[in-house]
Amino acid sequence: MNCTKCKTKAVIGLPRHNAAFCKLCFNGFVHEQVARAVKSERMFGPNDRILVAVSGGKDSLTLWSILLTLGYRADALYVDLGIPNYSEKSHEKVERFADKLAQSHETKLIVHTVQEQAGAGIRELAMLIRRPTCSTCGTIKRYQFNRAAVEQHYDVMATGHNLDDEAARLLGNVLHWQTEYLDKQGPSLPASVEGFAKKVKPLYRLSEREIAAYAVLNRIDYIVEECPMAKGSKMLLYKEVLNRLETESPGTKQRFYCGFLERGIATEPRTGTMQEHDQAMLQPCTTCGQPTSAEVCSYCKMMARAKAKVHST
């Protein structure tokens, strides 16, 4: 198998593109896909400050590396959830990678430790408030990512969600007719109100397999294991279903998700009536000041419940 572009020996085949690439051409392909995503969705400009949410996995570390390679100003935030063994490993991967990047780029890593602020790790918090661990985790990470981006004056927050992630999420929303989430399914979500950071997903044009190949070829040392808290997640089931379809019909994920975007369902600018609706519905949380539709935001409610449980035992 030879490289489609330079005709030397290929290291990876991409059935959905009917192409194969050597390492050099594959890196160029990946960089081009990210650059096209940034430009087409107007995610950010060359002078914007970007905060990348990193977990120690292949997607987020690869995103951080690519943005710096493309010349953008990108720092990273790692939220240590306190998951026994897993968090220690992922934290170590992130710190080592940050040190490696800092040798050739002007960048920094910000670390937020859940246990230091909440007094317990994610598993203990979920048990205290009797909520699913993944739900608790999502609330904490969304809050801390947005808080850091706003308080430290970043122009945009970037996450490592890839094509597989977005296609699986879309499948779940469609299967359950969760139409209220569809307008947030796009790869770029503007900061519609003060206090909310703009959120973007520059890897949405790349599959999980392609990102894994890029990480291996470029010696990005990432944590391979799935989060132990994700066992039984419906998202993993949706990914498995889509993977089977992709095997039988290459390009299924791309046609499904990008077809959704091309129809304009999730890409209409959030201006005018929608932005006015957001502004009317949201108000500052009386505890932390971040935007919320209630008097107290879900994060502060959760922390208050956890502290009350601790004091009552």
- Mean pLDDT in residue range 284-297: 88
Over residues 287-291, mean pLDDT: 88
Q: Tell me, what's the pLDDT at 125?
A: 84
Distance CA 54, CA 38 (A): 18
Residue bearing the bigger pLDDT, 101 or 271: 101
Query: What is the reported pLDDT for 104?
Result: 96
Residues 6-36 have pLDDT tens digits of 999 999 999 999 999 999 999 999 999 999 9
Instruction: Report pLDDT for 274.
Output: 46
pLDDT band at 129 (very low <50, low <70, confident <90, very high): confident
- The residue ranking higher by pLDDT, 154 or 118, is 154
Mean pLDDT computed over 61-82: 97
Q: pLDDT at position 52, please?
A: 98
Q: What is the pLDDT of residue 178?
A: 77
Cα gap 246→79, rounded to integer Å? 33
pLDDT band at residue 39 under the 50/70/90 scheme: very high
Provide mean pLDDT across the span 195-221: 96
Cα 278 vs. chain centroid, distance in angstroms? Answer: 23
Confidence band, pLDDT 50/70/90 cuts, at residue 311: low
Sequence ranges of the domains in the chain: 23-312
- Residue 58 predicted with pLDDT over 90: yes
**Residue 45 reports pLDDT greater than 90:** yes
Which option is the CATH number for 23-312: 3.40.50.620, 3.40.30.10, 2.170.150.20, 3.40.50.10310? Answer: 3.40.50.620
Parallel, antiparallel, or unpaired for β 156-158 and 19-21? Answer: unpaired
Q: How confident is the model at residue 267 (pLDDT cuts 50, 70, 90)?
A: very low
What pLDDT shows up at residue 272? 45
Q: What pLDDT, on a 0 to 100 scale, did the predictor assign at position 138? A: 86
**Residue 280: what pLDDT?**
53
| pLDDT for res 223 | 96
pLDDT at residue 313, rounded to an integer: 58
C-beta pairs of 212-216 under 8 Å, 24+ apart in sequence: 212/58, 213/11, 213/12, 213/26, 214/26, 214/27, 214/30, 214/62, 215/58, 215/61, 215/62
Q: Are 86 and 227 a contacting pair, CB within 8 Å?
A: yes
Q: Tokens 């400009």 identify what position?
A: 45
Task: Report the pLDDT averaged over residues 61-79.
Answer: 98
User: Averaged over 80-85, what is the pLDDT?
Assistant: 90
Q: What was the pLDDT predicted at 269?
A: 45
What pLDDT score was predicted for residue 16? Answer: 95
Sign of the CA dihedral 72, 35, 181, 243? negative
Exposure class string for 233-261: b at 16+ Cβ within 10 A, else e: eeeeebbeebbeebeeeeebbbebbbebb
